Amino acid sequence: MKKVELRYQRVSDAAKFFKILNNPNFTWFRVCPESIEAEKEFLRQNRQKRKEKREFNYAVIYDGKLAGGCGLRIDQFRKFQGEIGYFIDEQYWGLGLASQAVRLLEKIGFEELGLVRIEILMHPENTASEKVAIKCGYIKEGTMRKAVTNGEEICDCHLYAKTI
């Protein structure tokens, strides 16, 4: 199996991220940039977010190609805790890229950032993300009611977590 690599996201990734995130088959907790320029603006903020230890966003590279994105957001009230998020281009679904990315992110979180708890939230119907969490050793702690937005409505989500 080819391995996933992570690198910091670049402004030049904007067009590809825009395409992935606006795919109509990408349905859970949609984060759809309004334009490529809006995505570029988001990407320009990444360096400052890292400097402030708020958010660490990466491009998912598979076989030398940009295949998605992932990140680790640090809870600003509980700085020992973070939340992982990820998205993978549809052409790579089912190849285990998200699981590899999660393992790399948690290594960064636990070993480099000193976190003691990492969470993954997912829509209750997103069985693919639930499989990723389970495969990576995360434990389901419950379902949070009306806890996240999918862009249009406030939704329930499953909470999975891993601690060291």
Q: Is the pLDDT of residue 109 over 90?
A: yes
**Cα distance between residue 86 and residue 57, in whole Å:** 9
The pairing of strands 117-122 and 154-163 is: antiparallel
Identify the pLDDT of residue 152: 76
| pLDDT-based confidence at residue 150 (cuts at 50, 70, 90) | confident
- Please, what is the average pLDDT of the chain? 93
pLDDT the model gives residue 148: 84
What one-letter code names the amino acid at 3?
A: K
Q: What pLDDT band is residue 34 in, cutting at 50, 70 and 90?
A: confident
CATH number of 4-163: 3.40.630.30
* Per-residue confidence (pLDDT) for residue 29, from 0 to 100: 62
Does 29 or 160 have the greater pLDDT score? Answer: 160
Q: What is the mean pLDDT of residues 32-39?
A: 87
Domain boundaries along the sequence of the chain: 4-163
Q: How close are the terminal C-alpha atoms of the chain, in Å? A: 28
Q: Give the separation between CA 164 and CA 139, rounded to whole angstroms.
A: 12
The verdict on pTM exceeding 0.85 is yes
> What confidence category does residue 1 fall into, taking pLDDT thresholds of 50, 70 and 90?
low
What pLDDT was estimated at residue 28?
66
In the chain, DSSP assigns E strands to 4-8, 55-62, 65-74, 81-88, 117-122, 139-149, 154-163
Percent of the chain exceeding pLDDT 90 equals: 82
Q: Detail the DSSP E strand segments found in 9-153.
A: 55-62, 65-74, 81-88, 117-122, 139-149
